[in-house]
Structure 1
Amino acid sequence: MAEEAAHDLMAEGESDNTRLAYRAAMRYWAAWFGARYGRQMSLPVPVPVVVQFIVDHAERSTKAGLEHQLPPAIDEALVEAGFKGKLGAPALNTLMHRISVLSMAHHLSKQANPCVDPAVKALLSKTRKAYAKRNALPHKQRALTKEPLEAVLETCNDSLKGKRDRALLLFAWASGGRRRSEVSEAVFENLHRGDEGAYLYTLASSKTNHNGKIRPEDVKPVVGSAAVALEAWLKASGIASGPLFRRILKNGKLGTDGLSGTAVRDIVKARCALAGVGDDFSAHSLRSGFVTEAGRQNMPLQETMAMTGHRSTDTVAGYFRAGAAQVSEVARMMDLGKQSSNKA
């Protein structure tokens, strides 16, 4: 049932990463339901079941400390079967994602949606507020801004792997903070020479362009050090068609297969660990890092959005403002006053 629901859930053309995430969420729902109720789950899921799912997975404050409702035996069974990574309550983001996946499953199958029931919506709202009061904010991967990225790039030597990773990191960051699916699906045929050593890359498919229509905003510049790194990688690898970034085999030779989204993530995490900049970066850190750095350098928001492909300012503004806040003159009014006095 979970496999069929996941198949129906995801429309043709969605990224592999999105499909995997939705499939995993639906598998978890089916496994939890079977363990909780002793029978197979089917749509529509009753409202009380969704309420039970929330209280099973959301932590709440008690006299004994933080607790959740999931019985230990079921928790252990889900971990042993591989549906959970570890015992205990998941992150709030994970819980909310699984609710949204179930909601979409009901919407696409045209079933009565329990996730929009007033009781469920009220419980989710109170749950978010409870986490906020405990300062248990949703975890966000750190933004890989210019300074830590430069340290990461220093780990990329002149080996074939080093050249690939350097080109990949700079391509993803400098062309507007590309998503890992956009990096893993990049192909040589969409890369074109620009002027003065620059490249232009056309995003034929992205999260905001499922139809493959070529629009002016889908042409991204790869210039400066990013273009130099890409040129070095293409020359060393000999790639003239097909996937732009590929696996490197154990014997050091170039593979024919393109990297997966998971491999892109692993490259970012491995290079960050090697550089010693921290272990809380991911592939998305390249995207958030580009936007945050743009804010730090007071780049125009609309120009930044044109590079990233964001259509809503609500999504991008958080990272952008966080970067801008670090160089805010308003935030430094006290210090600016002292500097003026010292000069006098």
Structure 2
Amino acid sequence: MPSSQPLVLTELADSTRAAAEAFIAAGTAANTVRSYQSALTYWSAWLRLRYRRSLGDGALPPEVAVQFIVDHLARPDTSGNWTHLLPPAVDAALVEAKIKGKPGPLSFSTVSHRLAVLAKWHRLRNWDNPSEAPAVKTLLREARKAQARQGVSVRKKTAVVLEPLQAMLATCTDGVRGTRDRALLLLAWSGGGRRRSEIVGLQIGDLRRLDADTWLYALGTTKTDSSGVRREKPLQGPAAQALNAWLAVAPACEGPLFRRLYKGGRVAASGLSGDQVARIVKRRAAMAGLDGDWAAHSLRSGFVTEAGRQGVPLGEVMAMTEHRSVSTVMGYFQAGSLLDSQASQLLSSTPLDAVPPGERTAAAPHTAQEC
């Protein structure tokens, strides 16, 4: 039975601090640590309410992971409605404690992420991993199929391909802010589809100028490369010129490359946050009148999509983006490649009104009645 005792946030923070410290000691990126800590805080709260136990009491059995899935993933019932098994009292307690944003089921990606964090938490302690149990893996796979059959799909951010990028850049005419935003958008996009954590992490000392139209910027530790080895990426043409303009209005010998602005266009010494990068992308898209679900990741996905569209070899794209997984990058790359493929433009190459009616019938032997 669910516990009736209220959740105490300070106690939950204490119960997950050790987990966060373990991830930090393992060399995990700071942004990832924050997402892990959020997931473990949720696990701690849910376990206390559902089972009256603490996260660190020992390895969790597969049955607990199964219960977590059916508690949080919605599934269609016999009446055509969607249901999940999380008791309303537990749901309300999680929301009241600000562990959960709103009542109701969680998305498949959120549940999958929290199971992955639980798996890593167990591996760090050399405990049996409940997420690897056949029953858990099968249930998760079938749950995804069930949601897909009901039209529930994973929503991706809108990719900034060339045309929306140009529209966003056209709005960057508002003084110092426009100069900064133009340089940021072009470096993030042309420089290999940089993540927002990489953008805000760039320092003045990471830049090396080759000529008036070419810069190199160095990446250190990133989400997919924690070796600490500096890898230089090129920045050329309009992107290099935009960077020149930003450095001219905001000269500095050290510190963050992209900094905050005060009213009146005065440049602060402090750098941007990842959330501010996302807001810049959304603001410029809104100013350009662009429809879509825009975010900082739109620049990364847009770079890959546009590269596929222009026929850039996949290996060169991955050298710029530093994707480690081909499967991760291929979805965007293939979508871009198909945009200009002849296979997607068969009708445009032979207009229907140019084909004699008799030939149209011969070329289409199946009639509507047969279908």
Structure 1 and Structure 2 fold alike (TM over 0.5): yes
1:276-315 matches, cutoff 5 A: 276-315=289-328
Aligned to 2:5: none
Deviates more, 1:292-301 or 1:333-342: 333-342
Shift of 1:237: 1.0
| Stretches of 4+ aligned residues off by more than 6 angstroms | none
TM-score normalised to the size of structure 1?
0.93
Find the structure with the greater CA-based Rg: 2
Q: Which residue of structure 2 lines up, in the alignment, with residue 271 of structure 1?
A: 284
Instruction: Indicate how the Cα distance of structure 1 residues 276 and 36 shifts in structure 2: closer, same or farther if over 3 A, else same.
Output: farther
Q: CA deviation at 1:196?
A: 3.8
Residue in structure 1 matched with residue 170 of structure 2 by the alignment = 154
Unaligned segments of structure 1, at least 5 residues: none
Alignment match, 2:350: 337
**What is the distance in 2 between the residues matched to 1:12 and 1:172?**
28
SS state at 2:66 partner: helix
Q: Distance in 2 between matches of 1:119 and 1:191?
A: 51
For this pair of structures, how many residues does the alignment match?
339
- Structure 1 residue 288, shift from structure 2 partner: 0.5
Return the match for 2:152 from 129, 136, 144: 136
Which position in structure 2 is the counterpart of 1:81?
Answer: 97
CA distance in 1, matches of 2:25, 2:290: 38
Offset at residue 15 of structure 1 (A): 2.8
Cα distance, 1:186 vs structure 2: 0.3
In the alignment, what sits opposite 2:117? 101
1:237-283: CA deviation from partner (whole Å, max 9, x where unpaired): 11221110112234642222222222222222232233221351111
Please tell me whether the aligned partners of residues 264 and 283 of structure 1 are also in contact (alpha carbons under 8 angstroms): yes
1:316 CA displacement: 1.2
Aligned counterpart for 1:46 among listed residues 61, 72, 75: 61
C-alpha separation in 1, matches of 2:318 and 2:244 = 26
SS of match in other structure, 1:194: strand
Q: Offset of 1:334 from its aligned partner?
A: 3.5
SS at match of 2:351: helix
- Residues 1-344 of structure 1 correspond to what in structure 2 (within 5 A)? 1-11=15-25, 13-42=27-56, 43-64=58-79, 65-214=81-230, 218-250=231-263, 252-338=265-351
- The alpha-carbon deviation at position 12 of structure 1 amounts to 5.2
2:207 touches 2:218 (CA, 8 Å); kept in 1?
yes
Please identify, of 332-341 and 289-298, the stretch whose mean Cα deviation from structure 2 is larger: 332-341
Deviation for aligned residue 1:147: 0.9
The verdict on how the C-alpha distance between 1:4 and 1:124 changes in structure 2, with shifts beyond 3 A counting, is same
CA–CA distance in 1 between the matches of 2:175 and 2:27? Answer: 35
Q: Deviations over 1:34-89 (max 9, x none)?
A: 22223322231222111111001101111340111111222122122221222211
1:269/1:279 contact within 8 Å kept: no
Q: What secondary structure sits across from 2:307 in the alignment? A: helix
Partner SS for 2:345: helix
Task: Give the distance between the partners of 2:136 and 2:179, measured in 1 at CA.
Answer: 50
Separation of aligned partners in 1, 2:115 and 2:350: 51
Larger deviation, residues 71-80 vs 315-324 = 71-80
Shift of 1:339: 8.4
Query: Which deviations, in whole Å up to 9, do the C-alpha atoms of 1:291-320 show, x marking residues without a partner?
Result: 001111122222212211123322211100
- Tell me, in whole angstroms, the C-alpha distance in 1 between the residues paired with 2:29 and 2:275: 12
Check conservation: 1:78, 1:84, Cα contact below 8 A.
yes
Q: What is the rounded CA distance, in whole Å, between the counterparts of 1:3 and 1:272 in structure 2?
A: 39
Alpha-carbon deviations, 1:149-200, whole Å to 9, x = none? 1112222224222211111111100000001111010011110102342111
Q: CA 1:41 to 1:132, structure 2 compared with 1: closer, same or farther past 3 Å?
A: same
For 1:52, the aligned partner's letter is Q
| CA distance, structure 2, for counterparts of residue 212 and residue 340 of structure 1 | 61
Question: What CA distance in whole angstroms lies between the structure 1 residues aligned with 2:128 and 2:26?
Answer: 24
Does the CA contact (< 8 Å) of 1:17 and 1:261 recur in 2? no
Checking the alignment, whether the CA contact within 8 Å between 2:76 and 2:83 is kept in structure 1 is yes
Unaligned 5+ residue runs, structure 2?
A: 1-14, 356-371
Which secondary structure does the structure 2 equivalent of 1:8 belong to? helix
Identity %: 47
User: Residues 13 and 245 (structure 1 numbering): CA distance in 2 closer, same or farther, change over 3 Å?
Assistant: farther
Bigger relative contact order (CA 8 A; separation at least 6):
1
**Aligned counterparts of 1:232 and 1:180: Cα–Cα separation in 2:** 21
- How far did 1:331 drift? 2.3
Q: State the secondary structure of the residue aligned to 1:268.
A: helix
Which secondary structure does the structure 1 equivalent of 2:76 belong to?
strand
Equivalent pair of 2:175/2:265 in contact (CA under 8 Å):
no
SS of the residue 2:106 aligns to: coil
